[in-house]
Structure 1
Amino acid sequence: MQKNTKRNLFVAATYGGVLMLGLILGQYYSNEQRSASGGILDPLGVDNTYKIQGMMDLISKTYVDSLNMDGVQDEAIAHVLSHLDPYSTYLQPEAAQNFNETLEGTFEGIGLEYFNLNDTLLVVSIIPNGPADKAGFRVGDQLLKIDNVNIAGVQKPLSEVDKLIRGKRGSALQIFVKREGYLLGKPIKVIRDQVNVSSLDAAYIIKPTVAYIKIRRFGLKTAEEFRKALKELQKRGASSLVVDLRENGGGYLHSAIQLASEFFKDKKLLVYTEGYNELRKDYFSAADGEFAEGKVAVLINENSASASEIFAGAIQDLDRGTIVGRRSYGKGMVQERFELPDGSTMNLSVARYYTPLGRDIQKKYALNPQFFQNQTEQLWLLDTTYQHTKAFVTKAGNRVFNGGGISPDVLVPIDSNAVSLKYREINSSSLIEQFVYERFTKKSPAYSIENFLQGYHLPDKEYAEFMTYLKNKGLHLNKRQEDDLHQLIQTDIESLVGRFYFGRDAYFKVRNRHDVFIDQAVKLLDPSFMH
C-alpha cells in the first residue's frame, strides 16, 4: 500500500470518529496479520487534511471544558475502524504490545501461570527453563508478597499483580512463597528475562504410527516449532498426522503459508489475496515440505478462523488431507498492522484471501440497526448460515463451496451437552478449577505420569462431591443434568489434575481420551483402530 494511501486512511479515521464516541469491537478473530512488521503511519499532511486539523485546533483552543485530546483522537480512530468491518481494530499502546507478544510468542517476565484461589495466587504452571523455573518455583506454590507489596488476602486485581511481576529484562524481584502449607524461610529471588511461549499446545504419539500436534495460534515461530516437533515424532515411528486447529483463531498469514508448505514436495498455490487497493498476490509452497508424504487429518470447529482456514482450505483444495470436525468460523479478510508514533496500532482490513481454487470463505456481515438504538447490542450481524453460493471441484473430484467458512469432509455433530446453558454456566464460573485446586493440590502424586494417564479416572464419589460443591456455591443441577454432564465434567476435572501434576501435554492426553474428533481422525488414518 502506498504511503499516501496509509495517510488518507488515518485522516478519514480522525475526521469521522470525532463526531461520536467509538467502541473497540475487539473480536477474538481479528488477529490475522499481513506481516510481523506492518507499516508505519506518517504524520498528517496538509494536502487534504486542513478541515480535520482545523477542527482539532478549534476544539483544543475554544471548547468550553478541558479535554484530553489524545483520548478524543483515540476514540475517533476506534469509532471509524469499528464501523468499517468486524475485524478492523484500533489498539492503544499497552493492548498493541500484548497483542504483538501473543503472536510473537515472547514477552519479558518470569514465566509463571497462576490462578486466584480464595484470594491467594496459586502457581498452576511454570514455563520450562524460564526464569521462574530456574529460580526454583514449583507448581502448587502460593504467592504471598512481591517485593514489599502484599498480594494475598487483599483482593488485589490480577492486572495489578501482572504489572508487579512483568518488567524489564534483567531486573530482579523477590517473591515470598508458601509451599505445602509452610512459609519459606526467605523470598525467592528471580531475574526477569525474555520468556518464550510455544504456539504448539501438545505434540505426542497418539497411536503407534499416528502423531498428534495441536496448534494454539499461528505465531512468528509456529512453522519452526512444528518442524522440530514433527522430526521428533517421526523418529518415534509416526507416519500419519493429526493437526488440531480447533479453537485456533488465526495469526500471521505468512505462518499459515509456511505451515501448509510443509505438506507439499512441489510448488503449489496455497492462497492468494486481493483487495480494492491491493493487486492479486499469490503465495506458493516452498517445494521442500517435511511431511510431503503420509496421511493427514486436520481438525477444525466453529472457532477455527482466518489463518486456520487458510491452512485447512489449502489442504482441502489440493486433496492433501481430510478435514474433520465442524464448519469453521468464516473469516476471509486480511488485516495489515499500521503503527502510530505513540505505540498504538491500526489493524486495518486491506484484502480478502482466497483458497487455491478461488474460494472466498468470508461469511456475510452487516451493521446491526438495533445497535444504534441500544448500544448493548452487537455492532455487527454475522451470517452463520453456509451459503453454498458457488461450487468448486478438486482434482480428485471432491466438491467444495464458497461462503461461510470451510466445511469439513467428515462432519462431527455438535454435542448438545457441551453447548448447554448449564455446562456453559459451570465453565464460566471457574468452579471446576476452584474444586480441583482446593482438593488435588495439597501434595505431589505418588504415581508416575504413565500410571496417571493409563489408570486415573475420577471416582464416582468425587463427582458426587463436585455436585455438592456446586450446590453449596449456588449452582444447582437436576438429576438428568448431573447424568448428562458427567462425562464432560469428569474429563475437565481429570485433565486439570493431569496438567497440575504433569504439565500441558498431560492435560491434552487426558482430554483426548474421550474426544470424538480425534477418534474420527485416527480411524481415517489407521483403519485398524477401534475405540
Structure 2
Amino acid sequence: MRKVTKRNLFIAATYGGALLLGLLLGQKYADENTHTGSTGALLLNRTDNLGKVQRMINIIANHYVDSLDIDQLQELAIDELVGQLDPHSEYLRPNQVHRQQETLEGSFEGIGIEYYNLHDTLMTVGLIAGGPAQRAGMRVGDKLIAINGDTIAGIRFSEQTIEKKIRGRRGTAIEISINRNGKNLPLPLKVMRDRVEVSSIDAAYIIDSATAYIKIRRFGARTADDFKRALQNLKKQGAQRLILDLRENGGGYFNAATALASQFFVDKQLIVYTQGAHEGRTDYYSSANGIFGDGKLAVLIDEQSASASEIVAGAIQDLERGIIIGRRSFGKALVQEQFGFSDGSALNLTVARYHTPSGRCIQKTYPSRNAMRRDTIMFPSVQKAHTDTARYLTASGKLVYGGGGISPDVWVPADSNGISNLYRRIRQANLIETYVYERLTKSAPTYAVENYLKGYFLPDKEYQSFLRYIQDQGVDYTQKEADAVKPRVRTDIEALLGRYYFGSEAFFKVRNRSDKMLAEALLALNAGSGHPTAQ
C-alpha cells in the first residue's frame, strides 16, 4: 500500500442535467488543480505511431491544397483520441478549465447575481448575500436593460455573450441600467466587480427540535469547512441527529469527499482506497476528530448522486455509521487526474478506480460514452436492488452490493409524475419558471418567511390558471394527466416563489414539506436507525 500524498484528483460525473435557472455563478461540475508535469511533447515522443500522428499533421499543414485551421484540426484529433477512452476522461479547452476550477474553488470574479431570461430580458432572481450587486443596490426582480450603455433587453444573446459583458477583473466597474417595478431607474447602477464566494451548501436548517438537515450541492475546495460551520451552528440550536442530502450531487474533488466523510468518525477508519494499472493501492483514512462522530445519521441519495457523493455514502454504509435512504446512485468509481498544457487546456485522465472500505467497486458498466450519459439521468432507477452483481459483507455481517452504484438501505421509488410525459414537456419548456416570474412576482408578500413556509399553498384557481397558460403555449394534456402532475407542479411553483422572495434556503424548505425521501429519513431516525455501530 502506498503512502497517501497530495494528489490532483477529482471525481465528478460528466452527465448533463436541466438547470433550474440561468446562473452567472459558473455552477458546473469540475476538476481539481492543474497538474503541470505533463506536456504534449511527452505524449508524442513515446512511440513511432505517435510520432507519425504529429508528422501527419505537419504534412497537412504544409502541403494541403486549401488553408486549414491547424489548431482546430489538432483538437479534433485529440477529441477523437480521448473519445476512445472511458466516458469520464475528457479534453478541456482553456475556458472550460477556468470555469470548472472556479466552480469547485467556490469563488469567481463578477458581480454575484442570478438571472432568468424572461422573454429576452434578464430578470434578477437571486443575489449573492454581501456580493457586489447587492452592495450596489440591485434587488431581486430588477430587469437588466443595458450594460455599459449597450441595450440588452429584448435582444436575444447567448449566455456566453452575457457572461462576457457582466464578468470581469476584480476592481473594474460595470454600469447596469435597471427597470424596477415597471419603471426605468433614472441613472444606471455602478457595480464594482469583486471576488464572489459561493458556498457548496444549498441549505442547512433544523427540521424539528433535534434533527438537522444539510444539503450539499457539490464537493468543492471548501465543502468540509462549509459543512463544519453549518453543523456547528445547528448544534447550537439543539441538533442531535443529521439528515445529509447528497441528491443531485454529481461529485467534485476527491479530497473533499474524504474530508467530509471524516466528519462522521471519531476514530481512524479506512474511508476509501484507490488502485489502477499504473497506480498502486493508496488508502485514505478518517482524521479521527470528526465533528459528528456520535449522532444518528441518515444520508439521502438518488440516481444523480455520483462520485464524491458515492465515496461518502459508501463509507457510511460499509462502516455502518448511518443509514442510506433513497435510490441507487449513479455508479462512478473512476478517479481522474488533470494534466495541464501550456495553452491552458487540460486532459482529465482516468488513472484509478476507487473502492469502498469493504472492497466494493461501484462503477457501472459503460458500453459507450453516450449510453453512459443517457442512462439513469433520464430514467431514474425503478428496481430496488441489484440481481447481477457481487455481494460484500461489512464487519458485522451486513450485506452490501458492488457494481452500478450504492444500493440504499431504505429504497424510495421515484415519483412517477416527475418522469411523466406532461411534466417533462413543462420542464423542458421552462414553463413553470416563466409563469412564476411573469405572473406571480408582481408584489412582495406581506408575511414573514415562517408564515409562508407554514401557510402558503398554491390555490386551486392558480393551478387552473397555470393549466390554461401551458395550453396557450402549445402544451396539450388530458384532465387525468393534469390531475396526476398537480402535486409536483404546485410544489415547484411554491418552492420557486419561496426562493424568489426569501432566498435559496426557502426553496428547499418548501420542497421538503412533501418530500417522501426526507419523510422516510425522519421515520428511520425516530425508529432508532442511523446509530454508529461499535467497531
Q: Does 1:44 align with 2:46?
A: no
Q: C-alpha distance in 2, partners of 1:466/1:175?
A: 33
Correspondence list, 1:279-358, <5 A: 279-358=280-359
Q: C-alpha distance in 2, partners of 1:411/1:191?
A: 49
Query: Given that residues 366 and 380 in structure 1 are in contact (C-alpha distance below 8 angstroms), is that contact kept between their aligned partners in structure 2?
Result: no
Correspondence list, 1:204-243, <5 A: 204-243=205-244
Q: C-alpha distance in 2, partners of 1:242/1:388?
A: 30
RMSD over equivalenced CA pairs, Å: 2.0
| Greater Cα offset, 433-442 or 35-44 | 35-44
Long gaps (5+) in structure 1? 1-24, 369-376
Q: C-alpha distance in 2, partners of 1:251/1:502?
A: 28
Q: C-alpha distance in 2, partners of 1:32/1:496?
A: 26
Correspondence list, 1:344-493, <5 A: 344-367=345-368, 378=371, 386=386, 388-493=388-493
- SS where residue 495 of structure 2 aligns? helix
Query: Given that residues 29 and 103 in structure 2 are in contact (C-alpha distance below 8 angstroms), is that contact kept between their aligned partners in structure 1?
Result: no
State the shift of 1:378 in Å.
Answer: 4.8
Q: Deviations over 1:139-180 (max 9, x none)?
A: 000100000211001222232111100111111010000111
Q: C-alpha distance in 2, partners of 1:66/1:326?
A: 54
| CA 467–47 in structure 1, closer or farther in 2 if over 3 Å, else same | closer
Query: Given that residues 363 and 382 in structure 1 are in contact (C-alpha distance below 8 angstroms), is that contact kept between their aligned partners in structure 2?
Result: no
Query: Given that residues 30 and 103 in structure 2 are in contact (C-alpha distance below 8 angstroms), is that contact kept between their aligned partners in structure 1?
Result: no
Letter in 2 for 1:504: S
Q: C-alpha distance in 2, partners of 1:36/1:410?
A: 37
Letter in 1 for 2:215: K
Structure 1 counterpart of 2:256: 255
Structure 2 counterpart of 1:141: 142
Letter in 2 for 1:423: Y
Q: C-alpha distance in 2, partners of 1:395/1:410?
A: 20
State the shift of 1:76 in Å.
Answer: 1.3
State the shift of 1:293 in Å.
Answer: 0.6
Long gaps (5+) in structure 2? 1-12, 18-27, 530-535
Q: Does 1:59 align with 2:60?
A: yes
Query: Given that residues 34 and 340 in structure 2 are in contact (C-alpha distance below 8 angstroms), is that contact kept between their aligned partners in structure 1?
Result: no
Q: C-alpha distance in 1, partners of 2:368/2:109?
A: 39
| CA 157–28 in structure 1, closer or farther in 2 if over 3 Å, else same | closer
Q: Deviations over 1:261-309 (max 9, x none)?
A: 0000011000000000111100000000000010000000011111110
Q: Deviations over 1:69-122 (max 9, x none)?
A: 111111111111122111111111111111111111111100001111122111
Query: Given that residues 34 and 346 in structure 2 are in contact (C-alpha distance below 8 angstroms), is that contact kept between their aligned partners in structure 1?
Result: no
Q: C-alpha distance in 2, partners of 1:55/1:528?
A: 67
Q: Deviations over 1:426-467 (max 9, x none)?
A: 111101001101122112211111111111110000000000
Q: C-alpha distance in 1, partners of 2:273/2:76?
A: 34
Query: Given that residues 273 and 284 in structure 2 are in contact (C-alpha distance below 8 angstroms), is that contact kept between their aligned partners in structure 1?
Result: yes
| Greater Cα offset, 141-150 or 49-58 | 49-58
TM-score, L = length of structure 2: 0.89
Structure 1 counterpart of 2:513: 513
State the shift of 1:404 in Å.
Answer: 0.6
Query: Given that residues 365 and 382 in structure 1 are in contact (C-alpha distance below 8 angstroms), is that contact kept between their aligned partners in structure 2?
Result: no
- SS where residue 116 of structure 1 aligns? strand
- SS where residue 485 of structure 1 aligns? helix
TM-score, L = length of structure 1: 0.90
Letter in 2 for 1:404: G
Q: Deviations over 1:453-485 (max 9, x none)?
A: 111110000000000001011101211111111
| CA 363–47 in structure 1, closer or farther in 2 if over 3 Å, else same | closer
- SS where residue 190 of structure 1 aligns? strand
Letter in 1 for 2:33: A
Q: C-alpha distance in 1, partners of 2:93/2:133?
A: 29
- SS where residue 76 of structure 2 aligns? helix
Structure scoring higher RCO (CA < 8 A, sep ≥ 6) equals: 2
Structure 1 counterpart of 2:75: 74
Structure 1 counterpart of 2:269: 268
Q: C-alpha distance in 2, partners of 1:37/1:52?
A: 26
Q: C-alpha distance in 1, partners of 2:33/2:387?
A: 33
Structure 2 counterpart of 1:167: 168
Q: C-alpha distance in 2, partners of 1:256/1:477?
A: 44
State the shift of 1:387 in Å.
Answer: 5.5
State the shift of 1:53 in Å.
Answer: 3.0
Using the aligned pairs only, state the percent identity: 50
Structure 1 counterpart of 2:120: 119
| Greater Cα offset, 117-126 or 316-325 | 117-126
| CA 339–180 in structure 1, closer or farther in 2 if over 3 Å, else same | same
- SS where residue 418 of structure 1 aligns? helix
Q: C-alpha distance in 2, partners of 1:62/1:193?
A: 49
- SS where residue 60 of structure 2 aligns? helix
Correspondence list, 1:24-35, <5 A: 27-28=15-16, 33=31, 35=32
Letter in 2 for 1:44: A
